[in-house]
Structure 1
């Protein structure tokens, strides 16, 4: 199951290794569809990447910090630094490719 976090917990989890962050909104249709895709990605690569979900509306400071302009937005962090970003609904092969290129 994907983990939804708030800013404090987020900051504790992003420092080490590969973390994929899903900035989403509870009212966004594509965000809901992306959650199913990310569950599949987690099943395929769960030992290689941590997947976190951040509610766009509840985490304005992180939205501003990462300059997220819309949702869904996926940001891949490696040891706390952004290495790749995808916007909009993405398919499983594209997400897996992005993660594997940064392992």
Structure 2
């Protein structure tokens, strides 16, 4: 409840400026302006988050200043999503690896 719930369940939303209620029924959605303010306040370049299915394993938001990673391909057997992993090198350069969903047998 409270902060832990919001850290886990808040999602980015391109249609929102600031904060709004989340369709999941818990926590909030936030806009690109919230990401920009957070990164500026904490002197960061990129925010990496998870816990939201994205089709290609990773998905950028807010001008590539936030990335959502989801590492479970074919999540729960219900989604045809890829899984994604991020690697950060010694120069803080990020690269992504994609785990393709397995083909479903009939």
TM-score interval, normalised by the smaller of the two chains? under 0.3
TM-score scaled by length of structure 2: 0.27
User: Highest CA radius of gyration, 1 or 2?
Assistant: 2
TM-score scaled by length of structure 1: 0.28
Give the helix-richer structure, 1 or 2. 1
Give the strand-richer structure, 1 or 2. 2
